[in-house]
Amino acid sequence: MQLPSSKSSMTAGVLAAIGASVCCVGPLVLLGLGVSGAWIGNLVAVEPFRPIFIAVTLLFFVLAYRKLYRRAEVCATDAPCVDPSVLSRQRALFWVVSALVLALLAFPTIAPFFL
């Protein structure tokens, strides 16, 4: 079985994190943009699915981590992965995106402290 690439794993992880926080961050962002209405309350309907989205997010980030750090990639001589700076940029991007996603996932828990 072929594992997904680290780029597709990170993308899927970010999308799952957005799905996990749409119930809590979504209304805040919409109100910040000036969008209002009673229908914003309907975004809370996805709250029961939040643990599933969090689990999917963590799974994809584990797969991306494994691809970047645990598995030695076999590269053709003319492939971009031969250059070590490509791997270091991918790892740096992984940690930046991981920090942003962690903040997004933690938002519903830490938001009451800011009120």
Give the model's confidence band at 80: pLDDT under 50 very low, under 70 low, under 90 confident, else very high.
low
Residues in the chain: 115
- 31-65 pLDDT, tens digit each: 677 776 666 666 667 778 778 878 888 888 888 88
More confident residue, 45 or 90: 90
Which residues touch 19 (CB under 8 Å, ≥6 apart)?
Answer: 46, 49, 53, 56
Mean pLDDT of the chain: 74
**Maximum separation of any 2 CA atoms in the chain, in Å:** 58
Give the Å distances, CA to CA, from 40 to 32, 66, 104, 113.
12, 38, 19, 22
> Which of 53-57, 58-62, 69-73, 78-82 is predicted least confidently?
78-82
Which pLDDT belongs to residue 58? 85
Amino acid (one-letter) located at 94: F
